[in-house]
Structure 1
Amino acid sequence: MNNEEAARARVVSTADRLFYAQGVQAVGMDAVRSASGVSLKRIYALYPSKDDLVLAVLRHRTEQWNTGLAKAVAAAGTPRDKMLAVFDFLAEWFREDDFRGCAFINFFGELGGGNSKVAAAVREQKTSFQRHVAGLVRDAGGPGHLAPQLALLAEGAQTTAAITRDPGTAAQARAAAETLIRCAFE
């Protein structure tokens, strides 16, 4: 990793942590500078605007989500287990000390109405997740209507767990997913 890549990675990971914990609008670029140790001039050379940095954070979050989800699904045995692995992935995430819900939903709620680029990035991530779940359902031989139901259940679990601070929400969502899957295959 060269110096520019290292600086980008440090700025994005720092901004990610700060934005996720405090909200995008509450965190100024000076706070990112202080916490990352990268000069403000360098940050603006890498990310000409705060919006550019927000979009980089969302790309980073997408990579983290996709990697974590793929790992959980790959560890599952049967096609049905792979569908349920989505909820096992959520269960691990909900138990993290810094869990504050879905960053995409949080960013959309905070900025999406006034920032079309953020709204588009969030929509793309959510659409990508829906396509992923649809692929899992297809691989299991399930009906098409099951995929959006499972995706909606996963999205709702994220929001509910963030609000209630109850990691057990993932187990409840998994149990509901098991019921949906069983009924879809009858």
Structure 2
Amino acid sequence: MAAPVPDLAPLTPGARRVLDAASQLFYERGIHAVGVDTIAEAAGVTKKTLYDRFGSKEALVVSYLQHRDARWRDDLAAHLVAVSGPGIPRILAVFDHALAWSTANSPKGCSAVNARAEVSGDDGAAVLAEAAREKIWLLDLFIELCIEAGIDDARGTAETLMLLYEGAIVTLGMGTFSEPFAVARRCAEGVLARG
């Protein structure tokens, strides 16, 4: 598959508590709305422990994004393995699995998109880079699946699929209408039928 997740070092028990608390708080409330005092209190650690384990709030945000991304990738990879052979069904399986994943794990949309909306280059260069890396990985995955399926314009088709996917996840997070991944999947079927 496309580019791997950066190596995720094993976490100490204290670091795991910090990351778990931060992940829940960042996703539910937003990055800027949650301070390190709140995270430390929720994790049952001191601010010193938080900074000793992660160095900065920005590094903690990057770790949060990387760990969520790793969970999504592992889950998606297991789902794709269950879809036999290369072809259009494997491409559509990304949308199918995104629907199931988002229902269970992402009712507020994509954590990377949400983080990207909250930070600017001045105060979050590492966060912006991580969000971009995750989206480039997904585009690369769509390209790879389109090549495997024998799609003539694999890159162009993958870019269209990426727009459908990203539109669905943003629509989900905004609550504009229900089941945007089902709509995106139907549109993807039409794109792939022509490709």
Equivalent residue number for residue 80 of structure 1: 88
Q: 1: CA distance between counterparts of 2:105 and 2:90?
A: 26
- Give a deviation string over 1:55-99, Cα, whole Å, max 9, x none: 111111221221122122222224211100111111112323761
Equivalent residue runs for 1:29-108 within 5 Å: 29-78=36-85, 79-96=87-104, 99-108=107-116
Gaps of 5+ in 2: 1-9
Equivalent residue number for residue 109 of structure 1: 117
Alpha-carbon distance change, 14 to 118 in structure 1, aligned in 2, over 3 angstroms: same
Q: Alpha-carbon deviation of 1:132?
A: 1.0
- Give a deviation string over 1:30-49, Cα, whole Å, max 9, x none: 11112111222211110121
Equivalent residue number for residue 160 of structure 1: 171
1:171 matched to 2:176? The reply is: no
1:134 matched to 2:143? The reply is: yes
Alpha-carbon distance change, 97 to 151 in structure 1, aligned in 2, over 3 angstroms: closer
- Give a deviation string over 1:121-160, Cα, whole Å, max 9, x none: 1111111111111111111111222111111111110001
Equivalent residue runs for 1:14-29 within 5 Å: 14-29=21-36
Equivalent residue number for residue 7 of structure 2: none
Equivalent residue runs for 1:112-123 within 5 Å: 112-114=120-122, 115-123=124-132
Identity %: 31
CA RMSD of aligned residues (A): 1.8
Q: 2: CA distance between counterparts of 1:55 and 1:24?
A: 11
The TM-score, its normalising length taken from structure 1, stands at: 0.90
Greater Cα offset, 72-81 or 126-135: 72-81
Stretches (4+) displaced over 4 A: none
Residue type of the alignment partner of 1:177: A
The TM-score, its normalising length taken from structure 2, stands at: 0.87
**Count of matched residue pairs:** 182
Greater Cα offset, 109-118 or 148-157: 109-118
Gaps of 5+ in 1: none
Q: 2: CA distance between counterparts of 1:76 and 1:4?
A: 33
